Structure 1
Amino acid sequence: MPDLSEQVVDLAKRGGREPVVAQTLRSATAATLSYIAALWLTNVSAPLLAPLTALLVVQVTLFATITSGIRRVTSVVVGVVVAAGFSAIVGLSWWSLGLLILCALTVGHLVRVSEFVPEVAISAMLVLGVAQVAETAWDRVAETLIGAVVGLLFNVIFVPPVWVQSAGEDIEDLAARMRDLLLRLAEQSETQRLSVTRAEQKLDEARQLDQDITTVDASLRQAEESLRLNPRVKEGLLTRIVLRTGLDTLEVCAVILRTMSRSQADIAARRTGEPLVPPEVGPALRDLLANLARAVDSFATLITSQVNEAAEEAEDNLMHELEASRASRERLAQLMLTGVREHPRQWQFHGSILAEADRMLDELDVEKRSLRVMEELDRYSRERRERVRRLRRKARIRVRSSR
C-alpha cells in the first residue's frame, strides 16, 4: 500500500488533468492564504469569513472566479447595509428577524447575486445580532473583501488550466462508444439467428448515449468557460465553436443510431430466430455500418485536433471514410432493391436503414461542418456588434440626460 507522501504526489500530478483535483488543491491553498492575510490586515482573532469567501470564490476557471467574487462581495455588502438600516430603527426580536430575512432575500434577488442570495440574509442576521453593529459590519465586509481579493489574485497569478483537452477526450470517448455500437450492429447484421435479447441490449446501449452526451456537454461547458478571459488562449472563440458544433453533430448521430437500433430490435421481435436481412444483403449492411463507425471516429478526431497538420490529416481520413460509406450505401441499396422485389414485407426496414444512413452521412459531411462553423462565427460577430451598438446608445442617453 503506498504511503501518504506517494498519495500526495499522485494527487498533485492529477491536478493538471482532473478539474475536481485541481479545484480541491487550488481552493485549499487560496483559503489558507486568505486566512493569513486577514490575520495581518484585521483585528479579528479568527477571521474565518475570509477563507470561507476564498473557498466560494476560487473556481476551476478564471471567468467563474471573477463573476463569483463580485457576487459574493455584493451579497455581503448588501446584507450589511440592510442590517445597518434595521439596527437604526428596531432591535432584534422574533418579528424583526423575520422581517429582516424577508427584506434581505428580496433585495438579494433584486441585485441578482444568484447562488449567494442566502448570504445576504446571513450577513444581515449576523450583523444585527451583535451589540456593536458598525464594528461588526466593517469586520465582515473587510474579511469578505480580503477573501475575494486573495481568491481572485490567486487565479490571476496562477492561471487555471484550460480544460479543452479534457473536453476533447470526453468527446473522443463518446465517439468511441458510438463507433463500438455501430461495429456491434454491423456484426449483428450477419447473424443467422438474431436474438431479441441481443437486439434490445444494443437498443439500451444506444439510449445510454443520451446520458453520455449530457456528461460531455457539462465538460464542454466547463472548457468553454475556461477559455474566457484566459491569457493562455489565443483562439478561444474558434476552439469553442468547433467543439460545440462537433458535439451537436455527434448528438444528432446518436439519435440516428438509436433509431437504427430500434429498427433492428423491431425486426428481431417480428422474426424470431431469423436473420436480420437476407444472407446476400448482410455483408453489404455490415460494410456500411463499419464504414460509418470509422467515419464517426474520424469526425471526433477532426474536431478535437488542435494542430493544423493533425486536423488536415483527420479531415482527409474523414473524407475517405465518408466516400467509402457512400459507396457501401449504394451497393446496399441495389441489393435491398432486389430483395424487396422478392420479399415486399421487408421494404419498411430496408428503407429506414438507408434513410438513417443518409442522415448520418449528411451530418458528418465535411463541407456542411465547415459551413456550420462559419455560420456560428458570423452569428457571434453580429451579436458582438449589436452589443456594442446597444452600449453606445445607452452611453449617449446617459450623457444627454446628465446635461
Structure 2
Amino acid sequence: MPDVRKWATVPTRFLKRYRDPIVVQTLRSATAATIAYVLALRLSPEPAPLTAPLTALLVVQVTLYATLTNGIRRVNSVVAGVLVAIAFSLLVGLTWWSLALLIVASLAVGHLVRVDEYVPEVAISAMLVLGVTTVGDTAWARVVETLIGAVVGLACNVLLPPPVWVDEAGESIEGLARRVRQLMLRMGEEAAGRIPWQQAAARLHEARRLDHDIVEVDAALRQAEDSLRLNPRVKEGLLHRVVLRTGLDTLEICTVVLRVLARSFTDLAKARDPDPLFPPEAGAVVEELLSQIADAVVSFAVLVTTDLSLSAESAEARLTAELHTAAGTRDKLALVLRDEVERDARHWQLYGAVVTEVNRILDELDTEHRSRRLLEELDRVSGEQRAKLPRLSRLRERLGVPERLRRNRPGADGRSL
C-alpha cells in the first residue's frame, strides 16, 4: 500500500514541476527559438540566420504581457542598432575609433527610443552589422530575422497561452500568513512565562525578518499580476489583481504592527525583569488572544485567495466568527490590564500599547474594512485606466464592460471577498 501511494503521487509531482516557471520558460523558449530558426532559413538570405532564434529566445517570457512589452522593445532596439550601423558604414567604416563612437551613439539612441533593459542590444546589433563586409544586405537580413523572431515569440504565447500564476501567488500569501501565525503563537506561549528580555528581543528580530518574506511574496504576486494582463483565458483580471494586492497590503500592515507588538513585549520584559512578562492572569489572556488572532490571519489569507463561491462564503463566515471571538478576548484583556494598572501603574504605557496594537490588527482584518478598501482600490485603478486610455474606456462603456465589473465587485450581492 505505501508503494501504491508513492507511485500515485508521481503524476501530481510531475504536473507541479511542469508548472514551475523555470520549466515553462525553458520549454516555451526552446520551442519558439526552433520555429523561428526554421522560418528564417526560408526567408532570410543569410546561411545561418541565428538572429531570429536569438530574438525569439529573448522575447518569449513566462507571461503574455511581458512577452508583448519585451517584444516591442526588442524589435525597436534591433532596428535602431541596424540604422546606426548603416549610417556609420556609409560615413566612416569600421576602425577602432569609429567602433568607440558607434557604441556611444548606439547607447545614446537606445535611451532616446526608450527600450529600457534592451539599451545594450542597440550597440550589439550595430556592432554585428558593422562588422561584416556586405553591410546593406546583412542589415536588412538582420531586420527580417529580428521581425521573424519577435513574431514567433508573440505567436507562441498567443496560440499557447501561458499559465496563470494566481495559485502560486495565493500559496505564497497563505505561506506568509502561516509564518505570521507561528510567530504569534510563540509570542503568546511566552507571554505568561518568566523569559529573559533577550528571548523577547529574539522574537522582535523574527518579526523584522518577515520583511524579507513580504518581498518574496510581492515578487510572486507581480508575476501573477502580469499573467492576468492581456490573457485571453482570464475574465475580470483587474478584480483578481486588486483582490490579491489589497490582501497582501493588509498582511504587510499586520506584520508591521506585529513587529511593533514584539517591540512592546521586549520593552516590557526589560522593565519587569526578573518578573514574568505579564502577570499570570493577564499572560493567560494574552496567549489566548494571540492564538485567536493568529487563526484569523490564516483565515484572512484563505479568504483573499479563494474564488467567489461557497468556499469563499464559508471562509468569510469563519473569519468573522474568529474576529468576533478575538474582540471579546481583547476586551477581557483590557479589563485585566486595567485592574493591574490600578495595583501598579509603573507600566501602564506598555500595557496600553499592547491593547492598541492588537486592536489595530483586528481592525485591518475586519471584513467590512476590507470591502471598503476593495471598492476604493477598484475605483482608483479604474480611474487611472480611464485617464490613460480614454478612447478604450469609451469603447468598454459602449460594450458594457463596466457594468459586468460592478456586478462582480465585492459587496454587490452582500458578500465581501
State TM-score, norm by structure 2. Answer: 0.88
Alignment partner, residue 173 of structure 1: 175
Q: Which residue of 2 aligns with 1:279?
A: 280
Measured after TM superposition, the shift of residue 11 of structure 1 is 8.7
- Secondary structure at 2:94 match in 1: coil
Q: How does 1:19-30 map to 2 (within 5 A)?
A: 19-30=21-32
**Aligned counterparts of 1:320 and 1:353: Cα–Cα separation in 2:** 22
Query: Does structure 1 residue 373 correspond to structure 2 residue 389?
Result: no
Aligned length: 385
- The answer to which of 365-374 and 200-209 deviates more is 200-209
2:335 maps to amino acid: Q
Report the counterpart of residue 138 of structure 1 in structure 2.
140
Q: Identify the residue that residue 343 of structure 2 maps to in structure 1.
A: 342
Q: Give the alignment of 1:194-273 within 5 angstroms.
A: 194-273=195-274
User: Is 1:78 matched up with 2:80?
Assistant: yes
Q: Which of 100, 106, 109 is residue 107 of structure 1 equivalent to?
A: 109
Tell me by how many angstroms 1:129 deviates: 1.7
1:13-54 deviation line (CA, Å, top 9, x unaligned): 345432222112211222222222222322323222222111
Other-structure match for 1:90: 92
> Which residue identity lines up with residue 359 of structure 1 in the other structure?
R
Give the whole-Å Cα distance in 2 for the aligned partners of 1:26 and 1:126. Answer: 27
Amino acid at match of 1:188: E
Partner Cα distance (1:9, 1:264) in 2: 48
**Aligned-partner Cα distance in 2 for 1:11–1:126:** 44
Is the contact made by 1:287 and 1:328 (CA closer than 8 Å) also made in structure 2? yes
* Correspondent of 1:54 among 43, 53, 56: 56
- Partner residue of 1:386? 387
CA deviation vs aligned residue, 1:354-375 (integer Å, no higher than 9, x gap): 0101111111111110001111
Percent of aligned pairs sharing the same letter: 58
Q: Please list the CA deviations of residues 315-365 of structure 1 after superposition, one character each: whole Å capped at 9, or x if unmatched.
A: 111111111111001000000000011111121221111010111111111
Give the letter aligned to residue 349 of structure 1: L
Residue deviations 1:270-325 (CA, integer Å, cap 9, x gap): 33342111112111111111111111111101100014211111111111111111
Aligned equivalents of 1:38, 1:262: Cα separation in 2: 63
Give the CA deviation at 1:12. Answer: 5.9
The Cα of 1:144 is off from its aligned counterpart by: 1.2
- Report what 2:396 is aligned to: none
**What amino acid sits opposite 2:328 in the alignment?**
A
User: For the aligned residues, what is the CA RMSD?
Assistant: 2.0
- Counterpart in the other structure of 1:4: none
User: 1:238 and 1:269 mapped to 2: Cα distance?
Assistant: 47
Moved more, 33-42 or 310-319: 33-42
Provide the residue aligned with 1:69 in structure 2: 71
Normalising by structure 1, report the TM-score.
0.91
> Is 1:162 aligned to 2:164, yes or no?
yes
Whole-Å Cα distance in 2 between the matches of residues 162 and 239 of structure 1? 11
3-state SS of paired residue (2:342)? helix
Counterpart for residue 401 of structure 1: none
Judged with a 3 Å threshold, the aligned counterparts in structure 2 of structure 1 residues 92 and 63 are, in CA distance, closer, same or farther, namely same
Whether the aligned pair in 2 keeps the contact of 1:11 and 1:21 (CA below 8 Å) is: no
CA distance in 2: counterparts of 1:273 and 1:314, whole angstroms: 43
Structure 1 CA distance, aligned partners of 2:37 and 2:15? 26
